[in-house]
Amino acid sequence: MASELEVIGWRRGRLWFLDQRLLPEEEHIVETEEPEEVCTALKSLAIRGAPLIGIAAAYGMALGFRPGAWEAEGDLPSRIERLATVFLSTRPTAVNLTKAVDRVKRAALAHSGSGEHAAEAVLREARMIHEEEKAMCRGIADHGAELLLPGSVVVTHCNSGALATGGIGTALGVIRRAWERGTLRHVYMNETRPLLQGARLTAWELGKLGIPATLTADSVSAFLMQQGRVHSVIVGADRIAANGDTANKIGTYALAVAAQHHGIPFYVAAPTSTVDLATPSGKDIPIEIRSEDELVMLGSRRVAPKGTAVYSPAFDVTPGSLITAIVTERGVLRPPYESSLAAAGERVQA
């Protein structure tokens, strides 16, 4: 069994993380003690993936409580509020960010009479969030692997492994566990335009794990289904609304439509930390719009004429009606999602 890929952590009072922008050519580790540098890493996608965004934000806020970091900026509660506001502004779609920041904020405010105690509480909470995400990934992998029959060939979109979660992954965690059990035969990876997370990141991870995989353009998946070469689709999620509508990397919705047309199961794998019961449906999920440069530039080369109008949402929303099942660490949830997601949320709080 392959070991877990470590992509983020805390050592000697500093946060370290793997800069995903440089993969696969360079495996560069960044170490920082500046919260602002973590925010920049989140915005630039040096750190990405809903669970990992939450982990990084929690550690980033912990950096704001190191000795000398907050004393010059006024009282401690004000510093806590400023840090929370800055981190919440980085990536609006991933609900893990909001949940992690709120947890760290509560931990800090509970000890706001002492900077030293607040710092200890914040770092303890951040480490707990990290370990919880790792444990949830393992649970998702175990439950999801049960859905894949022997000889399975799957399609996945974007990246949902260690690089997105800090653990073994959600959708890629399921893929990995099925491979270890001998039920997975092959993976087709969508390249995931425009930033090529599938080509750059998923291919890198599956290569590290020794799992057989083939890279395709995003538009090839429907053709593979038409040819009868795919048994199921499994993807991650950045936010799941109370009715099962799911925000994930742009291109996921089209994949779900194609899967339904061809009678192929479409699975979403995500921890309960990605479920947002306060968001009624997909139309209430804020969708991040990215810079036009990500679409019109390929490296340093422009691939569209200057002045071309651009619309570049980072995510789309797949209706719950197109999702066969949602795999969480609590088990496999099926429609109606209003009740199954609510029940899973109640079990988490219990």
Active site residues: 238
CA distance 25 to 131: 29
CA distance 91 to 53: 8
Q: How far is CA 139 from CA 2, 103, 174, in A?
A: 17, 22, 9
Residue with tokens 């004000």: 78
Residue of 204, 192, 196, 135 whose CA lies nearest to 163: 204
Residue with tokens 């970091």: 69
Q: Report the alpha-carbon angle 344-231-318, nearest 5.
A: 50
In contact, 327 and 147? CB cutoff 8 Å: yes
Q: How far is CA 88 from CA 58, 61, 82, 128, 329, in A?
A: 11, 11, 10, 20, 25
Tell me the two tokens of residue 85: 């506001």
